[in-house]
């Protein structure tokens, strides 16, 4: 039997069915769900030829380890969640856009980062093997399908990886409140990688030293910093805006 794993939550399950129905072995739906969302999932499963099994809430709890599954889970064929950096770089068409997460350990933050990375055209998310959460069922649920679409590259030595990216002519930009350049004054249209620090701690010293440029997010409120996934969304959103404007001008 092919290796499999469990994903849960409506967004994660529906996204997987729509993107790779052939890799969805079974869907498990709470037998008490007769609402529109449940009916829509039943219809989608029928259209895509995916077997759907009604289970009681207790069995769903056991299947998902008592996670917040929203009454739905699926057994899916395991797809590669780790990718080789060279393969990713060789597959990129146009200016590279990467998101590097220096030690993000909260699965909700990683899931949200993957989601915004997917929304703004990031080619891959890179993170160290140590001091990082990695892809988990919780990450997949929060990512709402992005964990299956965005290559996640886990590296042994982040500093060495940053040097390799520089050798590939990728500009390394760190998001840092002490950065001399404001986000809206930075040029973000060429091949680049955004580096985001961990929750509370920010980037490690060695990571910061490997950045070509440090950019700050201008803020006028009373808070001193943003959550890593929010900061990623702000920085990637501005990058997306600049690239669209640049493409329209050519």
Which domains are seen in the chain, by residue range?
Answer: 4-77 (3.30.1330.30), 85-249 (3.40.1280.10)
For 189-237, what is each residue's pLDDT tens digit?
A: 999 999 999 877 789 999 999 999 999 999 887 777 789 999 999 999 9
pLDDT band of 113, cuts 50, 70, 90: very high
- More confident call, 172 vs 148: 172
| pLDDT given for residue 2 in this prediction | 52
Mean pLDDT (the chain) is: 89
For 155-170, what is each residue's pLDDT tens digit?
A: 999 999 999 999 999 9
| C-alpha–C-alpha distance, residues 132 and 224, integer Å | 24
| C-alpha–C-alpha distance, residues 121 and 119, integer Å | 6
| C-alpha–C-alpha distance, residues 248 and 225, integer Å | 33
Residue 89 CA, distance from chain mean position = 17
Q: What is the pTM of this model?
A: 0.74
| pLDDT given for residue 1 in this prediction | 45
Q: How would you classify the pairing of strands 72-77 and 4-8?
A: antiparallel
| pLDDT given for residue 212 in this prediction | 96
pLDDT band of 249, cuts 50, 70, 90: confident
For 75-101, what is each residue's pLDDT tens digit?
A: 888 655 557 888 888 888 889 999 999
Q: Which residues of 147-162 are buried (b: 16+ CB within 10 A; e: fewer)?
A: bbebbbbbbeebeebb
Residue 101, H or E segment: strand 97-102
| C-alpha–C-alpha distance, residues 52 and 40, integer Å | 12
| pLDDT given for residue 239 in this prediction | 97
| C-alpha–C-alpha distance, residues 104 and 117, integer Å | 15
**198 and 131 in contact (C-beta within 8 Å)?**
yes
| pLDDT given for residue 4 in this prediction | 78
Query: Quick check: 50 pLDDT over 70?
Result: yes
């Amino acid at each position: 039997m092919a290796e499999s794993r469990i994903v849960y939550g409506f967004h994660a399950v529906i996204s997987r069915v729509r993107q790779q129905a052939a890799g969805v072995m079974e869907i498990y739906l709470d037998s008490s769900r007769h609402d529109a969302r449940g009916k829509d999932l039943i219809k989608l499963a029928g259209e895509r030829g995916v077997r759907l099994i009604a289970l009681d809430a207790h069995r769903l709890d056991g299947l998902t380890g008592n996670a917040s599954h929203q009454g739905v889970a699926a057994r899916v064929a395991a797809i590669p969640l780790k990718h080789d950096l060279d393969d990713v770089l060789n597959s990129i068409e146009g200016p590279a856009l990467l998101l590097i997460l220096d030690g993000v350990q909260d699965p909700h933050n990683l899931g949200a980062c993957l989601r915004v990375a997917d929304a703004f055209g990031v080619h891959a998310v890179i993170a160290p093997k140590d001091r990082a959460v990695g892809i988990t069922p919780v990450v997949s649920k929060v990512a709402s399908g992005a964990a299956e679409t965005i290559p996640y590259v886990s590296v042994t030595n982040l500093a060495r990886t940053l040097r390799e990216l520089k050798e590939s002519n990728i500009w390394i930009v760190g998001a840092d409140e002490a950065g001399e350049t404001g986000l809206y004054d930075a040029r973000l249209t060429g091949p680049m990688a955004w580096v985001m620090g961990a929750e509370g701690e920010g980037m490690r010293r060695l990571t910061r030293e490997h950045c070509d440029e440090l950019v700050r997010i201008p803020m006028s409120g009373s808070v001193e910093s943003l959550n890593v996934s929010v900061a990623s969304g702000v920085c990637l959103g501005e990058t997306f805006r600049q690239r669209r404007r640049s493409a329209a001008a050519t």
